[in-house]
Structure 1
Amino acid sequence: MTLKQQIVGNAMQMAVCTLQPGQTVYCEAGKFLFKTANVSMDTRLAGPGAQRQDQGGAAGGGMGGMLRQAMGTAMQVGQRMLAGESIAFQYFSASGGEGTVGFAGVLPGEMRALELDGSRAWYAEKDAFVAAESTVDFGIAFQGGRTGTSGGEGFILEKFTGRGTVIIAGAGNFIDLNPADFGGRIEVDTGCIVAFEDGVRYGVQRIGGLNRQGIMNAVFGGEGLSLATLEGDGRVILQSMTIEGLANALKKAQGGDKQGPTGGLFSTHAG
């Protein structure tokens, strides 16, 4: 059952979803906006994929099924904690007719509804996920050449599989690219990646070192620049503003940048 949804708004977009009786969507904590009275809300630790496995285990019965259920839920919660995600999901289901529920991202920018047909997974940057149908499984993937807890570098990604609608959000405006249209490879600021299809290979390279360019990077942009490499054939969604860039702009607008253009070498503070 396709999720009926509408993206509304300009600078800060929202997704308004119409649920049919028995249809369920889920979101991360903090993304829910409003609902009609006939839409129930439930908070659960397990994602939809784990729940289907749990139901299968419960059908088998016995202590073994209960143990597998507990272990599956614990693994999901542990992965989300490692990635810095919310440990629980909120589920919304309609009863007694159509129901309406609204969701929003946490940053000013665009939203996008992705339609999964089961043939390809989608990967999204940390915090991009807003909501999805219960037929879509949420997981954590480690990519980029090395693993770690630095979601800002793009090493920890959200993974969506199955069939149904996934709603994502980003900062600023979106642009859609395909590496295949640019010789098979594009290089992107890691903070600009929102999502990409399975089939696109993802890596990270560090630019900058103890040379002239590295010194210039250290003075004007930190100690170097991380570039994401995206190769292959598939859709890539980029955002025009990074979270770090937005935070710096807000800090300067509030008069909080007292350290000169770098916040380091030209600082007016002695220590």
Structure 2
Amino acid sequence: MTLQQEIVGNAMQMAVVNLQPGQTVYCEAGKFLFKTSNVTMETRLAGPSSGGGQRQGQGQQGGGGMGGMLRQAMGTAMQVGQRYLAGESLAFQYFTSQGGEGTVGFAGVLPGEMRALELTGSRAWFAEKDAFVAAESSVEFGIAFQGGRTGMSGGEGFILEKFTGHGTVIICGAGNFIDLDPADFGGRIEVDTGCVVAFEEGIQYGIQRVGGLNRQGIMNAVFGGEGLSLATLEGQGRVILQSLTIEGLANALKKAQGGDKQGPTGGMFSTHAG
């Protein structure tokens, strides 16, 4: 069942979701705004992945008894552990409409856009951590570590949220969104790591270090921060970027308050044909 939702607002958008009787949507902690009284709210440790987000009576078809309960508990523990390593909230909030249509409102935590992605089961979507707002219960949530051992560092650009299955996923970003396809730019684009919001399965994602220990590299390290690395996106598929990074917003607020001055971080992306 497609999630009936409307993105409203300008500078800081929010999603108003209309739930049919019995329909469930879940979100990360901190993204909920309001609900009607006929919508129940429940907090669970696991998301809808491998049955972890199902109710106890529904998750035992693959193996009942103590063995099934143990597998379910281990799956939940693994998912919670992944979210802990990723720096995500450990619990999800689930909202289900009871006795008629219900309404729930969600929002991101930064001024910017929101987008509803429709998953058809053919391609998964990957999103930067903190981009996820809400999804219907038919969408499975997972954590994808990128870059091998460096992925355990928790640095931006290494840990991604993965969405699979069928249904609607709502994501958010800072500033404005721009949609690109690397295939339109010779098959590869290089992006400020803080500007990546989400991309389709099939896009190859990596991190490219730039700037050595020369004068420019030292200046980037001192003033630019993220200028030392770029996200590389290759292949064919949809890529969603944001025009404002969290670091850029933080630096702007510091300047407005007369705090530490930071240098510019440069452009959003560059193209490379090859």
Does TM, normalized by the shorter one, top 0.5?
Answer: yes
Deviation at 1:204, TM superposition (A): 0.2
Corresponding position: 1:193 with 2:217: no
Equivalent AA in structure 1 for residue 44 of structure 2: R
CA root-mean-square deviation:
1.7
Equivalent AA in structure 1 for residue 16 of structure 2: V
Is the 2:28–2:133 Cα contact (8 Å) retained in structure 1? yes
Is the 2:224–2:262 Cα contact (8 Å) retained in structure 1? no
Structure 1 segments of 4+ aligned residues over 6 angstroms from their partners: none
Deviation at 1:211, TM superposition (A): 2.1
Structure 1 residues 156 and 81: alpha-carbon distance in aligned structure 2, compared to 1, 3 A threshold: same
Is the 1:123–1:160 Cα contact (8 Å) retained in structure 2? yes
Partner of 1:48: 48
What SS does the aligned partner of 1:48 have?
A: coil
- Output one character per residue of 1:72-119: Cα deviation in whole Å (capped at 9) or x when no partner: 110011011110111000000101111000000000000000000000
Corresponding position: 1:218 with 2:221: yes
Partner of 2:116: 113
Equivalent AA in structure 2 for residue 48 of structure 1: P
- Output one character per residue of 1:174-231: Cα deviation in whole Å (capped at 9) or x when no partner: 0000000000000000000000000000000111112243133235424852100000
The number of residues matched between the two structures is 259
Equivalent AA in structure 1 for residue 132 of structure 2: F
Separation in 2, partners of 1:101, 1:33? 7
Partner of 2:9: 9
Separation in 1, partners of 2:226, 2:74? 41
Separation in 2, partners of 1:215, 1:255? 24
Partner of 2:140: 137
Is the 1:208–1:223 Cα contact (8 Å) retained in structure 2? no
User: What are structure 2's unaligned runs of at least 5 residues?
Assistant: 264-274
Partner of 1:209: 212
What SS does the aligned partner of 1:60 have?
A: coil
- Output one character per residue of 1:233-266: Cα deviation in whole Å (capped at 9) or x when no partner: 0000000000011011111111222xx446xxxx
Separation in 2, partners of 1:23, 1:261? 47
Provide the TM-score with structure 1 as the length reference: 0.91
In percent, how many aligned pairs have the same letter? 83
- Output one character per residue of 1:102-141: Cα deviation in whole Å (capped at 9) or x when no partner: 0000000000000000000000001000000000000000
Structure 1 residues 138 and 151: alpha-carbon distance in aligned structure 2, compared to 1, 3 A threshold: farther
Separation in 1, partners of 2:3, 2:227? 43
Aligned partner of 1:182 among 159, 179, 185: 185
Equivalent AA in structure 2 for residue 201 of structure 1: Q
